[in-house]
A and B are shown apart, each in its own frame.
Chain A
Amino acid sequence: MLAPLLALLGVFVVWPLVHAAYISFYTWSFYESPVFVGLGNYLDVLTDHEFVGAVLRGLAFSAMVVPAQVAVAFVFAVLVKSLSRRMAAFMKVTIYIPAVISEVIAAIVFSLIYTHRGGLLNWFLALLGKQEDTAWLGESGTALAAVAVPAVWLGVGVASLIMLAGLLDIPETYYECASLDGAGPWTKMFRITLPLMKNIILFLLVTGFAASLQFLVLPLVMTQGGPVDSTTLPNLFIFRHFTNDLYIGYSIAAALLLFAVLGAVSAVIFRLVRSEKAMDG
């Protein structure tokens, strides 16, 4: 029974991974015979301060995107749960729309919003009394946060629906009992809702983290990684090396090291937010 599954896993996951690991020990191009360099590519990557910078920047980007996404999704889900059936359906469709918009379109739309002169955001801030226009994508201090906003926007739809499904799974009787015991809304939230949503939140944190660390199109289209590499996220760094380098070994080693970083941080999140069986299960 397991054979087809194992075969598919072998062909599409294990073999490419093993092959990638194998070729990462070589300096090679599509035109020359590969030359074995041992751990040379890995050493090059690990001693490259730009790679380390890109990974740290990726973690900072995730720290901006994931908590914001989970918080907005939670607030939205609580709001939708309290609405009438028809209104809830409308809100669910509305929040899900960004999820079906391509990253390229989102990047272009937000670039227009952030335009230095004549952009929507600066126009709006001017109405509120801000005198100077800000070059949101042109200043190294604001560019990463400016790219994080569409990243949150793109992911919040799916996160909200998952969060809502988790909320609807909590039996109403728990809240009724808590009300009889005199619990207020905050007590219910911290004693019932959040503990029972732990697995959902853990899932959103891990998948959100993995997705946000791997954003490529947003920084590529919006800033090309600049200014001064302030938006060069790990995948953009690897992509640039893959397309510009005359040899491929470096980018394969960098991709595998990023894979290790993703795995390690996901493990840390699992450890910090222990996954448990649902209390009512």
Chain B
Amino acid sequence: MRVIRLTACLTGAAVLALGCGPGADEQPGGRTEITLWQQKFTDQEDAWYKKAVAAYNKAQNKVVLKHQIVPADAWDQKMKAAQAAGKAPDLYTLNYNKAPGFARTGQIQALDPLIPAAKWTGLQEPVLRSVEYKGRKYAYPMLVEPSAVLFYRKDLFAKAGLDPNRPPATWAELISYGKRLTTRDVSGVVTAGNAIDMAWSTWGMQWNAASHLPISDDWAAPRASDPAYRQLLQVYQTLYQQGIMPKQPLAPYADANPIGQGKAAMMVCGSWAASVLLSDYPQLVPNIAAAALPSFDGDSAKPTATLGGWTLVVDAKSKHAQPAADAISWLLAGDTKLLVDYFKTTKFSKYSPRAAVADAVKNDPAAAENPWAKIIEDQVVARAKPEPTYDWAISLAFGKAIEKALQGKDIDAALKAADAEIKEFIAKNDLAGQGS
């Protein structure tokens, strides 16, 4: 009897609490609570997000934007768990290559009905196309950054008898430089060293080697067995087998620390490396130069990198889609000063796809702080391709082929296996005709 009474009391209390208090998404004062999940970036970027969210919460009184930073390696499992529980965030950061897939599978909402047309003007067309699916825009672009830039140590070049002002212009040269620069403590070249990192960091080189990606534009047929890809896999095989690149990755591809720590003479990394080097290794900056990766046929006008980057999207099940889209609009399509501050914070190592912001950034006197920005913009960004938007499995199949080459396996067999894997994936997932 006592148990029944206690249960009744507790149930009553819970009902009262639910009935009298604010709703789950409502803050005292009638403000609606919406959540933003941001993938963990550098400390400086995280600080910018915090500042921007605080400014948004101060700038209006209808919505409280709750901000949460999620580590990159925990993102997928945390997001899946939240989706399973129906507790996915209202808005979150998403990279370009995932946006069309998420749109196709109904995970995110179209933003063009929620964000006024005027707010979309001034964004670069190729970037806008990469967030479109069936003619609608599903993500609001925040930044673009090239995925592959060659950073190298001028002092180590000079020490090895190489001209510090002449980066390698061909892959044969890069291999030969790498050999001369490799010592027991310093790797001649540090780049992606496992299938996952190679799957995405080589998109630009895949374009460069074969003038296409390993799947046809309409996603109907694999194109990984194109013999033009041999040269790409051969380069990786030579670098690894001759000990020019580390036998075990020193860090994930996106991590720029190996060159800062003196463990690499040349390092392939995204443009974001500049931000890390300028912030954490300022004493090394005069000794580091940047250049585009070499082109396989010597044509420097060909792409050597893809333009990746981050967008904000609204979850398809968000009950507060309009407030979430308003928040995106305020953060990314509003006052240019807020975003200029972001690019300043990241040491001008990223690029805005929004003309007004890009101009303001260019005219900012502090932009000179990044000595590599101009070279990267002229030699890499200007020739870069947008990130591919097909499923990750396609990229991974090609990444595995490069990894097989790295381990000394037959290159033609590796490409053939990737081709077969992509073909199987296309068939199992009805991809044919879904590409652009």
Contacts and interface: CB of A to CB of B under 8 A. Distances in A.
A32 B103 CA distance: 11
A31 to B, nearest CB: 4
A227 B407 contact: yes
B400 A246 contact: no
A161 to B, nearest CB: 32
5 contacts: A29-B106, A30-B107, A32-B105, A117-B185, A229-B195
A140 B407 contact: yes
A101 interface: no
Given A29-B105, A32-B105, A139 B409 contact: no
A138 B428 CA distance: 32
A32 B83 CA distance: 12
Contact of A30 (B84, B393, B404, B407): B84
Interface of B: 76-77, 80, 83-84, 88, 101-102, 104-107, 184-185, 193-196, 246-249, 316-317, 391-393, 400, 403-404, 406-407, 409, 428
A128 interface: no
A228 B247 contact: no
Contacts of A247: 105
A242 B81 CA distance: 11
Q: Is the interface of A mostly helix, strand, loop or mixed?
A: loop
Contacts of A137: 248
Contact of B247 (A135, A224, A243, A245): A135
B420 to A, nearest CB: 10
A176 interface: no
Contacts of A115: 248
Contact of A228 (B88, B184, B403): B403
Contacts of A136: 248
Contact of A243 (B77, B185, B391, B407): B77
Contacts of A188: none
Given A116-B246, A227-B194, A229-B400, A246 B407 contact: no
A246 B391 contact: yes
Contact of A31 (B107, B196, B246, B400): B107
Contacts, number: 73
A31 B106 contact: yes
B80 A228 contact: no
Interface residue range, chain A: 20 to 34
Given A135-B247, A138-B249, A229-B400, 17 more contacts: A29-B105, A30-B83, A30-B88, A30-B107, A31-B106, A31-B107, A31-B317, A117-B185, A136-B248, A138-B246, A226-B195, A227-B403, A228-B400, A228-B403, A243-B80, A245-B393, A246-B102
Given A137-B248, A224-B194, A226-B194, A31 B316 contact: yes
A226 B402 CA distance: 12
A112 B367 CA distance: 39
B409 A228 contact: yes
A226 B248 CA distance: 11
A100 B147 CA distance: 41
Contacts of A140: 407
Interface in A3-33: 29-32
A226 B101 CA distance: 26
Contacts of B409: 228
Nearest to A47: B424
A244 interface: yes
B392 A44 contact: no
A223 B392 CA distance: 19
A229 B404 CA distance: 10
Contacts of A138: 193, 246-249
B84 to A, nearest CB: 6
B184 A117 contact: yes
Contacts of A245: 393
Most buried by B among A30, A31, A138, A139: A30
A135 B248 contact: yes
Contacts of A114: 248
